[in-house]
Amino acid sequence: MVTLFSRRTVLAAMLAAITLASAVAEIRADPAGPLPSWNDGPTKTSIIDFVTKVTKEGGPDYVAPAERIATFDNDGTLWVEQPIYTQFAFAIDRVRAMANKHPEWKTQEPFESILNDDLKGLAASGDKGMVEIVAATHSGMSTTDFNKEVKDWFAVAKHPRFKVLYTDLVYQPMLELLDYLRANGFKTFIVSGGGVEFMRTFADRTYGIPPEQVIGSAGVTKFEMWDASPVLIKMPKVLFVDDGPGKPEGIDHFIGRRPIFAFGNSDGDKEMLEWTAAGDGVRFMGLVLHTDPEREYAYGPADGLPDSKVGTFSQALMDEAKGKGWSIADIKKDWKTIFPPAKAAQ
């Protein structure tokens, strides 16, 4: 009987311990529930409903953890993309830093405009000029040297309006969304038109997304031996453009499975959302709409917002989103705060 009693005691104590552990876990979870920086409303509800459905074991919409793939655009979805893409700000600063080694740039567009701080002249050089600037600043060095240049730049470069580091301009509601998904067994990926190496320098510490889960546009690299040491040299040749139809192509190429959750903010995300939507079972497709010129920016031109060449959200995309029941995260309405509290030094 002593033995039996001991067993019972052990079992009772183990149960007590389990109950205690559950209670502690509940206390540790945010008392306000998930997504505290999101205002209550249909968008927040649609996210929580979706996650609840796909994680309910035995439920009709249950998805095994391995298949819980969530993909996020970066510029304008996870952080600020105005007035110009951060990577383009980096490229412009690199042109300035490299100018003494390129005397020919003084009389050669688009470099001349940059060196003269002539942003109108730079804009006039158009896409061709942008490609030349990226080629000049993103190739001809080893991947190791490039990564160092990017990291050094992020440590000091400030956003022209908010006067803080670019990595401080990530969206707090989206950080919470990434955390919430991961806490529910999702694997989170970035799928961006931005350069993959550029993003990998900060994605892990900024978003908790490791390098191998960052997908982006990429140039060709070439393996070479320098003084008997192997290096990868960045070549001035595009391997892959991860934008528009390139997003589902990149997802297939890198991940090899279809996401069940995707979030973007512009016409370049349309195909990623269509590809996500076309899979079996329940799906979540979301778009950030920039509606808040005071706290961030307002641009579309969807819904009568000002037009923008950066992060264009067309009326056609809005019509498709509404027609198909995709969720819209309207910054002004849906986001209680925009930037992480300690860093929102506007």
**Contact positions vs a second copy (CB under 8 A):** 9-10, 12-14, 16-17, 66, 143, 187, 196-197, 200, 204, 210-214, 218, 220-223, 229-230, 232, 239-240, 245-246, 248-249, 252-257, 271, 274-275, 278
Q: How far apart (Å, rounded) are the C-alpha atoms in residues 233 and 144?
A: 9
Q: How far apart (Å, rounded) are the C-alpha atoms in residues 142 and 154?
A: 19
In the bound state with a second copy, the residue whose beta carbon lies nearer, of 196 and 287, is 196
Report whether the peptide linkage leading into residue 210 is cis, meaning its omega lies within 30 degrees of zero.
no
Q: How far apart (Å, rounded) are the C-alpha atoms in residues 172 and 289?
A: 15
Written as six digits, the tokens of 29 are: 């979870």
| Minimum distance of a second copy from residue 248's CB (angstroms) | 5
Among 123, 82, 88, smallest CA distance to 291 is for: 82
Q: Strand, coil or helix: what is 63?
A: coil
In the bound state with a second copy, the residue whose beta carbon lies nearer, of 82 and 217, is 217
Q: How far apart (Å, rounded) are the C-alpha atoms in residues 29 and 25?
A: 6
Task: Provide the CB-side half-sphere exposure for 7 (13 A, CA).
Answer: 3
In the bound state with a second copy, the residue whose beta carbon lies nearer, of 104 and 227, is 227
User: Could you tell me if 321 and 315 are in contact, meaning their C-beta atoms sit under 8 angstroms apart?
Assistant: no
In the bound state with a second copy, the residue whose beta carbon lies nearer, of 21 and 124, is 21
In the bound state with a second copy, the residue whose beta carbon lies nearer, of 76 and 216, is 216
In the bound state with a second copy, the residue whose beta carbon lies nearer, of 273 and 328, is 273
In the bound state with a second copy, the residue whose beta carbon lies nearer, of 46 and 213, is 213
In the bound state with a second copy, the residue whose beta carbon lies nearer, of 39 and 142, is 142
| Minimum distance of a second copy from residue 296's CB (angstroms) | 29
Question: DSSP letters along 207-237, please?
Answer: HS--GGGEEEEEEEEEEEEETTEEEEEEEEE
In the bound state with a second copy, the residue whose beta carbon lies nearer, of 94 and 187, is 187
Q: Strand, coil or helix: what is 188?
A: strand
User: Could you tell me if 288 and 78 are in contact, meaning their C-beta atoms sit under 8 angstroms apart?
Assistant: no
Q: How far apart (Å, rounded) are the C-alpha atoms in residues 72 and 87?
A: 17
| Minimum distance of a second copy from residue 12's CB (angstroms) | 8
| Minimum distance of a second copy from residue 196's CB (angstroms) | 7
Q: How far apart (Å, rounded) are the C-alpha atoms in residues 218 and 190?
A: 14
| Minimum distance of a second copy from residue 312's CB (angstroms) | 19
Task: Provide the CB-side half-sphere exposure for 236 (13 A, CA).
Answer: 8
Q: How far apart (Å, rounded) are the C-alpha atoms in residues 296 and 259?
A: 29
Beta-bridge mates of residue 264: 287
| Minimum distance of a second copy from residue 60's CB (angstroms) | 23
